[in-house]
Amino acid sequence: MLRLDKLTKQYKTGDLALKDIVLEIPDGQVMALIGPSGAGKSTLIRCVNRLVEPTSGKISLNDLELTTLSQGQLRKARRRMGMIFQEYALVERLTVMENVLSGRLGYVGFWRSYFRKFPQSDIDEAFRLLERVGLDHMANKRADELSGGQRQRVGICRALIQNPELLLVDEPTASLDPKTSRQIMRLIRELCHERKLSAIINIHDVLLAQMFSERIVGLQLGEIVYDGPPDGMSPDVLTQIYGEEDWEATIEKVDDEDEAENVDVSASADAESS
């Protein structure tokens, strides 16, 4: 279970990205986090694995308090949290296999990883995962030779080979076409169910969020404005989360300063169309 208690993040620019967020995600739950650009979605999941340092509040994964960990302990804790990125964030010039195996870096020593001498069990697992997502024949291709959907599958493998308890997923479909988006979301949901993983999925596409998650949390300007089942989404709720036209100016402002750390794609268009 992941528990956020009064999590607050204020950037050096003074922007309050998250305000006293209280959130509990039980084991095995797939939760979608929606909200306009600059609402703090990316900040929230980056606070969990401390790619962004929270300003105050507590985050605990099962019984481990994450916010007070030392650098060494933090590395160990990060192994338990797999992360999937918007633009895949594969290391372009490494092969598919190296990218997948990089998910094991927290478990192997420097020289073993330097000479790419990973334990056989890791290599077996990597092939198993690649086969599961249908890319085992691509193992020795360089990552930049793959299509968007294929790259995101490799990104999923890299996260899963960590053997995580939690998946942090940041806009997995933002750069994919509609069909591939659905396939990727379906894959993430299936894998979460297979492995009893809980997941936080940041997503702009409200329809996809409704289709593939068990719970939706709506974030607006750093505060939770909706927390409920996917079928509870109504035009009223959406207005509450994304606001009306008048909101744009305010949101834009926050968005610009937030951009340095989180790359988001405009949300409102998706919300209006759904």
> Could you list the residues that contact another protein (CB under 8 A)?
49, 51, 75-79, 81-83, 85, 87, 89-94, 98, 102-107, 110, 113-114, 155, 158, 162, 168, 263
Q: What is the number of residues in the chain?
A: 274
CB of 165 to another protein, least distance (A): 13
For another protein, give the closer residue by CB, 58 or 79: 79
CB of 249 to another protein, least distance (A): 24
The sheet carrying 215-220 orders its strands as 81-84, 166-170, 198-202, 30-34, 215-220, 223-228
Between the CA of residue 241 and those of 35, 206, 217, 249, what are the distances in Å?
A: 6, 11, 10, 15
Alpha carbon 177 to chain centroid distance?
19
The letter for the amino acid at 188 is I
Copy the structure tokens of residue 91: 């290391």
CB of 76 to another protein, least distance (A): 7
Copy the structure tokens of residue 40: 């703090």
Helices (H), 5-133: 41-48, 71-78, 96-101, 110-114, 120-132
For another protein, give the closer residue by CB, 116 or 253: 116
Pairwise CA distance, residues 185 & 42, whole Å: 18
CB of 110 to another protein, least distance (A): 5
For another protein, give the closer residue by CB, 22 or 91: 91
Pairwise CA distance, residues 146 & 155, whole Å: 12
- Which residues contact residue 206 at a Cβ distance below 8 angstroms, ignoring those fewer than 6 apart? 34, 233, 238, 270, 271, 274
For another protein, give the closer residue by CB, 7 or 90: 90
For another protein, give the closer residue by CB, 153 or 221: 153
Copy the structure tokens of residue 232: 């509870």
CB of 85 to another protein, least distance (A): 6
For another protein, give the closer residue by CB, 106 or 230: 106
Number of neighbours of residue 139 by Cβ within 10 angstroms: 18
CB of 92 to another protein, least distance (A): 7
CB of 265 to another protein, least distance (A): 14
For another protein, give the closer residue by CB, 20 or 87: 87
Please say whether the dihedral angle defined by the alpha carbons of residues 190, 271, 83 and 216, taken in this order, is positive or negative: negative
CB of 202 to another protein, least distance (A): 14
Alpha carbon 75 to chain centroid distance?
18
For another protein, give the closer residue by CB, 41 or 158: 158
